[in-house]
Amino acid sequence: MKTEKIPVITIDGPSASGKGTIAQLVARKIKFHYLDSGALYRLVALKTLQSHADIHDADQLAQIAKHLDIVFKNEQIYLEGAIVTEDIRAEQCGLLASQLAAYPQVRAALTERQRAFRQPPGLVTDGRDMGSVIFPDATLKIFLTASAEIRTHRRYNQLKEKGISANMADLLHDIKKRDERDSNRSIAPLGQSADARLLDTSALTISQAQDTVLSWYNEIVHKASV
pTM of the model: 0.87
Confidence of residue 1 (pLDDT cuts 50, 70, 90): low
Task: Identify the pLDDT of residue 91.
Answer: 82
Q: Which residues have a Cβ under 8 Å from the Cβ of 168 and sit 6 or more positions away?
A: 152, 153, 156
Binding-site sequence positions for ATP: 13-21
Binding-site sequence positions: 13-21
Q: What is the pLDDT of residues 175-210, one digit of tens each?
A: 999 899 888 888 778 889 899 999 999 999 999 999
Q: DSSP letters along 52-104, please?
A: T--TT-HHHHHHHHHT--EEEETTEEEETTEE-TTGGGSHHHHHHHHHHTT-H
Q: How far apart are CA 203 and CA 77, in angstroms?
A: 31
**What is the CATH classification number for the domain harbouring 111?**
3.40.50.300
Task: Identify the pLDDT of residue 151.
Answer: 95
At 105, which amino acid appears? Q
Q: What is the pLDDT of residues 98-145, one digit of tens each?
A: 899 889 999 999 998 999 999 999 999 999 899 999 999 999 999 999
Q: DSSP letters along 150-205, please?
A: HHHHHHHHHHHHTT----HHHHHHHHHHHHHHHHH-SSS-S---TTSEEEE-TT--
Confidence of residue 52 (pLDDT cuts 50, 70, 90): very high
Contact 36, 126 (CB under 8 A): yes
Confidence of residue 15 (pLDDT cuts 50, 70, 90): confident
Residue range of the domain that includes 77: 3-225
219 dihedral zone (left: phi>0; alpha: psi -120 to 50; beta):
alpha
Q: What is the pLDDT of residues 141-179, one digit of tens each?
A: 999 999 999 999 999 998 888 888 889 999 999 999 989
Q: Total domain count for the chain?
A: 1
Whether pLDDT at 53 is above 80: yes
Average model confidence (pLDDT) across the chain: 92
